[in-house]
């Protein structure tokens, strides 16, 4: 027998839920937080028999109208049965502390917008250590442009397996999605908040990308001499107009497809033949003839500052398109 004066609030709540019966209790359970559900379970396990009079006093205390039913027996078993019929096996397992101890939490902020703020390579590294089915679920929940930049950082065999499973992916149970979200919070987002240097690397790269090739190499050499860390990550973010010769033909075509002939002509003034040929071979025959004709007239009166701005504009376009997953930069191609 459980004296009313000794009952805790979770025990009283568990008593009312059991008295309501499974259909009504199941609907109410959806509004409880995971911590509250745990307290209800523990409270129900300690309940024995509750007399009807005490039950009515409990109901009155909560200002509710659940006054039906005789004394309650085996409240723990009843509560377990309600939970088992209301929650999925995955949710019950997590709630009861099974598996890896992950607790489902539908009240936490969505992970996907937070995940998309991270460097794609970081997310790609995480996916590479996950089961392809889990990776497919994660990528499917990302914005298309960001998802494309993430899969490009994954090794080709794993990448193909992930995309294959994405094509075959059907409706995923909400409980399974929340389990994956909690894994992301624990293993990706928490680590990112503790020490995430990608934002700083991006800022440094954006500054260095404003330099010309010779200035850039001089600064990077200086950083190497002082033992700066993360230089490889910074190099992966660097791109100058001169790097166009190292791009694939497909990437070059994508880059110059939307650029004006005036901008390309200005950027090509004074360039070496291999670089000029790499650019001209990536555009249409008519545009090429127009540019070659313009270049043949010389560069008299053209300011060198204007030429540099044109080259930086094209390099910035390449960086933006790479970020959006529209082309691959040389550093990305080598990593793949």
Q: Which of 1-5, 137-141, 198-202, 275-279 has the highest mean pLDDT?
A: 275-279
Q: Name the band, by pLDDT with cuts 50, 70 and 90, for residue 293.
A: very high
Say if residue 191 is in the same domain as residue 201: no
Say if residue 244 is in the same domain as residue 326: yes
Among 196, 222, 252, identify where a domain stops: 196
User: Domain range holding 146?
Assistant: 111-196
pLDDT at position 265, please? 95
What SS3 class is residue 50? strand
From the number of C-beta atoms within 10 Å of its C-beta (0-12, 13-18, 19+), residue 295 rates as: middle
Q: What would the mean pLDDT of 297-315 be, rounded to a whole number?
A: 89
pLDDT tens digits for range 245-273: 999 999 999 999 989 999 999 999 999 99
Task: Judge whether 28 and 90 are in contact, CB under 8 Å.
Answer: no
How many whole angstroms separate alpha carbon 97 and alpha carbon 118?
Answer: 30
pLDDT at position 320, please? 87
Say if residue 249 is in the same domain as residue 310: yes
Beta-carbon contacts of residue 333 (< 8 Å; ≥ 6 apart): 247, 248, 251
pLDDT at position 268, please? 94
Question: Does the pLDDT of residue 67 top 90, yes or no?
Answer: no
Question: Does the pLDDT of residue 294 top 80, yes or no?
Answer: yes
What SS3 class is residue 72? strand
Among 234, 261, 286, identify where a domain stops: 234
Residue 69 token pair: 């039913």
Beta-carbon contacts of residue 125 (< 8 Å; ≥ 6 apart): 153
Say if residue 191 is in the same domain as residue 202: no
Say if residue 149 is in the same domain as residue 160: yes
pLDDT tens digits for range 78-121: 545 555 555 555 555 544 444 444 444 444 567 888 888 888 88
pLDDT at position 107, please? 47
Does residue 8 or residue 44 have the better pLDDT? 8
pLDDT at position 178, please? 78
Q: Within a domain: residue 326?
A: yes
Q: Within a domain: residue 168?
A: yes
Question: Does the pLDDT of residue 159 top 70, yes or no?
Answer: yes
Among 51, 86, 121, identify where a domain stops: 86
How many whole angstroms separate alpha carbon 83 and alpha carbon 31?
Answer: 13
Q: Name the band, by pLDDT with cuts 50, 70 and 90, for residue 237.
A: confident
- Model's pTM, two decimal places? 0.42
pLDDT at position 48, please? 62
Say if residue 262 is in the same domain as residue 293: yes
Task: Judge whether 187 and 126 are in contact, CB under 8 Å.
Answer: yes
pLDDT at position 246, please? 92
Say if residue 263 is in the same domain as residue 213: no
Say if residue 317 is in the same domain as residue 248: yes
Choose the weakest-confidence range: 45-59, 144-158, 225-239.
45-59
Q: Which of 5-9, 21-25, 292-296 has the highest mean pLDDT?
A: 292-296
pLDDT at position 76, please? 47
Q: Tell me, what CATH number does 82's domain have? A: 1.10.220
Say if residue 185 is in the same domain as residue 206: no
Say if residue 168 is in the same domain as residue 137: yes
The total domain count for the chain is 4
Say if residue 156 is in the same domain as residue 118: yes
> What is the 3 state secondary structure string of 317-332?
HHHHHHHCCCCCCHHH
Q: Within a domain: residue 318?
A: yes
Q: Within a domain: residue 335?
A: no
Say if residue 206 is in the same domain as residue 252: no
């Amino acid at each position: 027998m459980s004296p009313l004066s000794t009952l805790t609030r979770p025990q009283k709540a568990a008593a009312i839920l059991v008295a309501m019966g499974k259909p009504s209790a199941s609907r109410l359970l959806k509004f409880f937080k995971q911590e509250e559900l745990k307290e209800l379970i523990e409270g129900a396990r300690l309940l024995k028999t509750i007399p009807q009079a005490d039950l009515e006093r409990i109901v009155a205390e909560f200002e509710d109208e659940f006054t039906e039913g005789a004394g309650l027996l085996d409240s723990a078993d009843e509560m377990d049965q309600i939970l088992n019929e209301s929650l999925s096996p995955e949710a019950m397992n997590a709630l009861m502390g099974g598996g890896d101890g992950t607790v489902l939490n539908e009240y936490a902020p969505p992970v996907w917008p937070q995940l998309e703020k991270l460097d794609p390579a970081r997310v790609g590294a995480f996916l590479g250590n996950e089961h392809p089915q889990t990776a497919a679920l994660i990528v499917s929940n990302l914005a298309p442009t960001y998802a494309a930049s993430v899969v490009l950082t994954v090794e080709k065999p794993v990448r193909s397996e992930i995309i294959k499973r994405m094509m075959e992916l059907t409706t995923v149970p909400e409980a399974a999605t929340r389990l994956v979200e909690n894994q992301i919070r624990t293993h990706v987002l928490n680590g990112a908040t503790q020490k995430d240097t990608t934002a700083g690397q991006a800022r440094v790269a954006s500054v260095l990308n404003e330099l010309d090739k010779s200035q850039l190499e001089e600064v990077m050499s200086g950083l190497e001499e002082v033992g700066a860390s993360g230089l490889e990550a910074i190099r992966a973010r660097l791109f100058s107009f001169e790097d166009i010769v190292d791009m694939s033909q497909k990437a070059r075509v994508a880059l110059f497809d939307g650029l004006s002939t005036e901008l390309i002509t200005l950027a090509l003034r004074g360039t070496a033949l291999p670089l000029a040929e790499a650019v001209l071979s990536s555009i249409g025959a008519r545009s090429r003839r127009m540019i070659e004709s313009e270049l043949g007239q010389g560069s008299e009166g053209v300011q060198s500052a204007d030429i540099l701005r044109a080259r930086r504009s094209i390099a910035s376009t390449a960086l933006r398109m790479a970020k959006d997953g529209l082309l691959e930069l040389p550093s990305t191609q080598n990593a793949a």
